Amino acid sequence: MLQRTLTILKPDTVSARRCGAVIDRLEREGFAILGVRTLHLTQTQAEAFYAVHRQRPFFASLVKFMTEGPIWVLALERENAVVHLRTVMGATNPANADPGTIRADFATSIERNAIHGSDSPENAALELAFFFPSYELV
Ligand code: ATP
Ligand code: MG
Q: CA-based angle 66:93:52, to the nearest 5?
A: 50
Ligand in nearest proximity to the CA of 59: 1
Please list, in sequence order, all residues whose beta carbon lies within 8 angstroms of the beta carbon of residue 49, skipping any fewer than 6 positions away. 41, 66, 127, 130
Give the model's pLDDT for residue 138. 75
| Ligand 1 surroundings by CB, under 6 angstroms | 53, 58, 62, 92, 110-111, 113, 116-117, 119
pLDDT digits (tens, 9 = 90+) for 87-117: 999 999 999 999 999 999 999 999 999 999 9
Q: Could you tell me whether strands 71-79 and 2-9 are parallel, antiparallel, or unpaired per DSSP bridges?
A: antiparallel
The closest residue, in CA terms, to atom 5 on ligand 1 is 92
Ligand in nearest proximity to the CA of 62: 1
Closest to 10 in 3D by CA, of 88, 108, 132 = 108
pLDDT digits (tens, 9 = 90+) for 35-69: 999 999 999 999 999 999 999 999 999 999 999 99
Greatest Cα-to-Cα distance within the chain, rounded to the nearest angstrom = 39
Q: State yes or no: is 53 an active-site residue.
A: no
CATH architecture of the domain covering 2-119: 2-Layer Sandwich (3.30)
The closest residue, in CA terms, to atom 21 on ligand 1 is 111
Q: How far is CA 97 from the centre of its chain?
A: 16
Give the model's pLDDT for residue 20. 98
Domain boundaries, the chain: 2-119
Average pLDDT over residues 124-136: 95
Best probe residue, ligand 1, of 63, 113, 120 (max atoms within 8 Å of C-beta): 113
Within 10 A of 79 (CB to CB), how many other CB atoms are there?
11
